[in-house]
Structure 1
């Protein structure tokens, strides 16, 4: 496959076809299947976004390949990221749904199990900027920040694994705000945390509002689940009156932890990228196709029907943002390592 790609690219250069990428892509993608690798369980936010994208992306890729989604769970998305980086062929037919922000944090903290360099993925784009919140079931009794702060016992919160935002964010909140928290980790995705909350195993969890709104909609609308905190620099329009985590921070260090450990990585969560070495011509085609899909009326209508927000970032913007995160102040990196550990 790689030899075929190289031959086509050489032919393009010889015959001056580099300005006409769609012609090249039409021949390459026709009759092919492009696989999206999702590092979390079916039914969660990453899976829901990826399956919605998969229903429409193929129309915007020359040659109209079939798009399929494969779930590869484990280690908070680390297993799937390592797979895309090390094992998947760089042939333009395997696209990773990558939590770029947490992957970068895991890399700079030198966590075990990291077998990638996040600067080398070929980024295609971000479907939505992450807006994390904490939501709990009404039966847990934690229906406001006042009740959470006053709780005499640690509030059980579902988490995935170190390196996932549905773990790291909770650790940062626990340290920066001193909240009573018992982190129950090991779930394969937010769908499992949701079920655990409904079954009374945990009070709830902290992950993106877009996912909660789409997959926990009935409980939110009925009041059986309640959002009590926004982990954002500014409040969302559809969550009026819900306080911001950073407003509870009492020291500069606490504010810096929330800013760098939560706010700054949130633009790089729902991201997509190819393995290193994927031909630049194919990356260019997919960046254009991804961007076109983000403005497709049918895609936007499908997303709206599933209660999914769309707030995209281009592959070029994501590449620049990811590179900049590696310039963090060493003292802040040391503090993040202390809080999150290098598990």
Structure 2
């Protein structure tokens, strides 16, 4: 079975921020989600006729600040989960930011596994980065059981003012090429690697931007030749600039299906980075660097937003959660709100497919880990 198992029903882009905000508030108000401090809940057992979660409080740990995209999406998701989870428990969303998600996931690891009352959200990037940066890590992602993973792509775009009107313009010998990103970590390193292989003269990666918004601004004011952002940010905020002729979409990071990089369903006409490499160089995207690219792309795009329970939580709890999540992702109202919030239709993975992607994302050899560390060090020394 393909790792990306379904895609949400299309919904017209461009709902106003007010409409999205109202939708999210309605979901939270109507589905039993609260932002009160987490409580222990009722961790006691249940008799055979009582749903496991009846009368209980579940804590969903979100390792990001309140109000951001991941927090907003998580609160909406929690509302629907409370609706479909047998016993209709109260779900408390607890924000534990800090340490690049480490603080929140450490909290999750320390929570009571046997109660089945603790869930966590995390991005795919943390799954790969813990292979390279173990400082402050007190959790093991291999001990998490994935309930659902929502995908989200990355789009690379260029400035028409800088002369980027097509993919082939990347190889103009008379231009310095400044590419912007957030931080040269494992996730960003594979995009920098891919661009570095495309024969771009005077390629200069510039890191330190706060996110897709600041990267887009830097491209528009001529500070950067090109940059990257999430597909949802691109669809909501960059497409109008493309329509005005200021931006040229170039390529996407893609999704990984059965070990191969495939096109982003949000922008199916754009080549993936491996495709762009093959177009510009005439060579196949092969070798250790491209193997690492596929592994880390699995973590970053296939598993952009993950929701977990402890693997050793009670079987009854895990079964109830899996059943509820399967209903959530089929709910037309959830599909509509999710698409409105993200600006795109996030691919969904459940069960064994999500577990397989988690394994693939972390299945780097020692040689590949060393390769990433050496590549980052080499780029930083330029």
Residue of structure 1 in register with 2:286 after alignment: 252
Question: Closer, same or farther in 2 for the Cα pair 1:224/1:275, shift >3 Å?
Answer: farther
CA contact (8 A) 1:246 1:258 kept: no
Instruction: Give distance in 2, aligned partners of 1:136 and 1:69.
Output: 38
**Per-residue CA shift, 1:72-94, capped at 9, x if unaligned?**
2553x4444344334x5655555
Query: 8 Å contact 2:190–2:296 — kept in the other structure?
Result: yes
Quote how far apart the aligned CAs of 1:219 are.
3.4
Query: Paired residue for 1:170, among 191, 200, 207?
Result: 191
Q: TM-score, normalised by structure 1?
A: 0.75
Q: Which one of the candidate residues 245, 269, 293 is aligned to 2:328?
A: 293
C-alpha spacing 1:264/1:118, structure 2 compared with 1 (3 Å): closer
Name the counterpart of 1:239.
267
1:182 aligns with 2:210: no
Tell me what 1:317 maps to. 353
The equivalences for 1:1-343 within 5 A come to 4-5=42-43, 7-8=44-45, 12=46, 15=47, 17=48, 23-29=51-57, 34-39=59-64, 42-44=67-69, 46-47=70-71, 49-61=73-85, 62-66=87-91, 68=93, 70=95, 72=97, 75=100, 77-86=101-110, 90=113, 92=116, 94-100=118-124, 102-127=125-150, 129-150=151-172, 152-160=175-183, 162-163=185-186, 165=187, 167-177=188-198, 179=200, 180-185=203-208, 187=210, 189-197=211-219, 202-203=224-225, 205-214=227-236, 216-232=238-254, 233-236=261-264, 239=267, 241-247=269-275, 248=277, 250=283, 252-253=286-287, 254-263=289-298, 266-274=301-309, 278-306=313-341, 307-340=343-376
Specify the SS of the correspondent of 1:310. Answer: coil
The 1:120/1:209 distance shift into structure 2, 3 A limit, reads: same
CA 280–136 in structure 1, closer or farther in 2 if over 3 Å, else same: farther
- Cα deviations across residues 100-130 of structure 1 (Å, max 9, x unaligned)? 3x33322333554433211012322112x33
Moved over 6 A (4+): none
Q: How many residues align?
A: 322
Q: Which runs of 5+ in 1 are unaligned?
A: none
CA distance in 2, matches of 1:140, 1:36: 43
CA-to-aligned-CA distance 1:151-201 (integer Å, 9 cap, x gap): 6323131214624x3x233333244445413231252x4445445555655
Relative to structure 1, the CA distance from residue 229 to residue 244 in structure 2 (aligned partners, 3 Å threshold; closer, same or farther) is same
Structure 2: tracts of 5 or more residues without a match: 1-38, 255-260
Residues 42 and 194 (structure 1), Cα distance of their counterparts in 2 relative to 1, 3 Å cut: farther
Displacement after TM superposition at 1:298 (Å) = 0.7
CA distance in structure 2 between the partners assigned to 1:48 and 1:219 by the alignment = 25
Cα drift, residue 225 of structure 1: 3.8
Alpha-carbon contact 2:95-2:104 (below 8 Å) kept: no
Following superposition, the deviation at residue 272 of structure 1 comes to 1.4
